[in-house]
Amino acid sequence: MEKQTAVIIPARYGSSRLEGKPLLKAGGKYIIEWVWEKASKCKNIDRVIIATDDERILNACKSFGAEVEITSAEHKSGSDRIAEVAKRHPEISYIINVQGDEPLIEPANIELVRKGVVEDSNADISTLVREITDKEEVNNPNLVKCIFDINNYAMYFSRSKIPYERNEGKSKFYGHLGIYGYKKESLFKMTSLPQTSYEMSESLEQLRALQNGMKIKIAIVDNVPVGIDTIEDFNKFKSMIEA
């Protein structure tokens, strides 16, 4: 059977901080359309599927020619939503979960995540980090930090500053970017496992994978994707596009 690699973009209408976010328009395009276009530029991706729980998003995505599927509205996370879609497609072996609210994501970043999970036989999951140089960011619990071993496999993710600096200036700090690649079996395994103690403590789903012995491959990038969480974020993005 063909082993396809798919980008699946979860797009939910009912965001608590910015309802209807995927359907906001900037530069004549929906936010979700910007993300879909970026993913569609990746040369080594076989298909791009948008996974949504809402008919309005479904119809908008069809209007610009995207492959789109309706999923349950009961999912607690984006990974549960993409797992539902992946189960319908036995031809898909590798899944890249691209956030639907990052319209400026670099196709090269998506490719790095693809490479991490497709080319590394030991990796269950792959993801990206960037070096943090701003001290305020290091201490910001909204920016998840990651430490990884000498082979670039994640050791832990935390909202706290890790590692702790007993000896100042000896460590670099890395912030996690919320994009994941999965081997299909790994995605199904992770979403079927019960929540773990670290996951519940930090509200970080990837800790469920780590606590169950799954391996997450890390690649380091030097750009920061622009995520849209609030109306202020959207207005900044809109101003940037229209300028």
Q: What does pTM read for this prediction?
A: 0.93
Let me know whether 28 and 93 are in one domain: yes
Q: How many domains does the chain have?
A: 2
Establish if 2 belongs to a structural domain.
Answer: yes
3-state secondary structure the chain: CCCEEEEEEEECCCCCCCCCHHHCEECCEEHHHHHHHHHHCCCCCCEEEEEECCHHHHHHHHHCCCEEEECCCCCCCHHHHHHHHHHCCCCEEEEEECCCCCCCCCHHHHHHHHHHHHCCCCCCEEEEEEEECCHHHHCCCCCCEEEECCCCEEEEEECCCCCCCCCCCCCCEEEEEEEEEEEHHHHHHHHHCCCCHHHHHHCCCHHHHHHCCCCEEEEEECCCCCCCCCHHHHHHHHHHHHC
Let me know whether 101 and 154 are in one domain: no
pLDDT score, position 77: 82
Establish if 136 belongs to a structural domain.
Answer: yes
Q: Which residue type does 223 have?
A: N
Let me know whether 1 and 80 are in one domain: yes
**Which residues lie below 8 Å from residue 128, measured CB to CB, with a gap of 6+?**
109, 112, 113, 176, 177, 179, 218, 219, 220, 221
pLDDT score, position 1: 59
Establish if 11 belongs to a structural domain.
Answer: yes
Let me know whether 91 and 164 are in one domain: no
CATH number at residue 63: 3.90.550.10
Establish if 159 belongs to a structural domain.
Answer: yes
Let me know whether 101 and 13 are in one domain: yes
pLDDT score, position 15: 76
pLDDT digits (tens, 9 = 90+) for 92-137: 999 999 999 999 999 999 999 999 999 999 999 999 999 999 888 9
pLDDT score, position 117: 97
Let me know whether 77 and 160 are in one domain: no
Establish if 238 belongs to a structural domain.
Answer: no
Let me know whether 31 and 62 are in one domain: yes
Residue that terminates a domain, selected from 58, 82, 105: 105
Q: Are 10 and 86 in contact (CB under 8 A)?
A: no
Let me know whether 142 and 98 are in one domain: no
Establish if 231 belongs to a structural domain.
Answer: no
Let me know whether 59 and 140 are in one domain: no
**Main-chain phi, psi angles of 174, to 5 degrees:** -125, 130
Q: Are 23 and 12 in contact (CB under 8 A)?
A: no
Let me know whether 24 and 60 are in one domain: yes
Establish if 69 belongs to a structural domain.
Answer: yes
Let me know whether 151 and 82 are in one domain: no
Establish if 207 belongs to a structural domain.
Answer: yes
Cα gap 13→54, rounded to integer Å: 6
pLDDT score, position 169: 83
Let me know whether 199 and 154 are in one domain: yes
Structural domain boundaries, residue 89 = 1-105
Cα gap 7→111, rounded to integer Å: 10
Low pLDDT (below 50) residues in the chain: none
